[in-house]
Structure 1
Amino acid sequence: MARQRDVKQQNSLSTDRILRAVSAYESGTRHVAWLRDYLRGKGDAVSSGLLVSVDVIPEQEGDLVRGMWLTRACRFWEFEAMLPRLADSPPVIEKFEDRTDAVQVPAHVPGTGKSFGYLALEVLNDHFPGSTGKLIAGET
């Protein structure tokens, strides 16, 4: 039976997962190293931010990498890319979409604490103070 976690523990685990994604991007791990160049091609408004979610799913033709990029302007971009097994082969970007409107950002979600979106904005604000402005304060 899974152990029940209180809201504070849930928030902490979710924040830790976000910070692991940030760290993976900053250290340039193999599964996200390609993302830096891809984002640069999208321009400054998109390339400045943090990787706040990443999952790697091994598949027959390579590794499927899914994640969420959060810009300093508080835009959430969801992506999927296939990293072929051959080291010389470039990644195949299957999706890169602005999903800001689909990401929940309330500070409190009943039974689970802070939403993923809110926690991601907190981490963004820690890395780039003032980035989240009124959003993090719960204002519109």
Structure 2
Amino acid sequence: MYGMLSLKRIKSKLEHANLEKDNIYRSDNVETPFVLGLIKPKIYLPSYLSEIEKDYIVLHEQTHIKRFDHVSRFLSYLTLCIHWFNPLVWIAFWLSGKDMEMSCDESVINQLGHGVKKEYLQSLLNLASGRTNLGLILYL
């Protein structure tokens, strides 16, 4: 029930999302990028992203789609619903999500080259902190 209510709430927030191109949408009601849909997955982005951040994040989300992470995540969620009482399933669900994210980040850095590592990580930091236009202040 929780999953269905959450999906309904998300879809109502996305009613006014603007199609940019192909399967990429932008919305003022989106706080973090995500993929939604099993058969025809769509990428939803916050409207405040700069163009370079958008390019990095779209590549990251497209990597999720190419790897069928959205399908794996759905099947993992179904497993979690069935075995909700098992703490090991909860841990596996959480860890698998973290692994998917780190794997996609690594793939993006390998595709773009290690020269963009700082800029890409700064984009992720901006999204995680909810800040916009911090500039590239990350020094590694």
- What is the TM-score with the length of structure 2 in the denominator? 0.28
Q: Which has the higher strand share?
A: 1
Q: Which has the higher helix share?
A: 2
- What is the TM-score with the length of structure 1 in the denominator? 0.28
Higher relative contact order (CA 8 A, sep 6+): 1
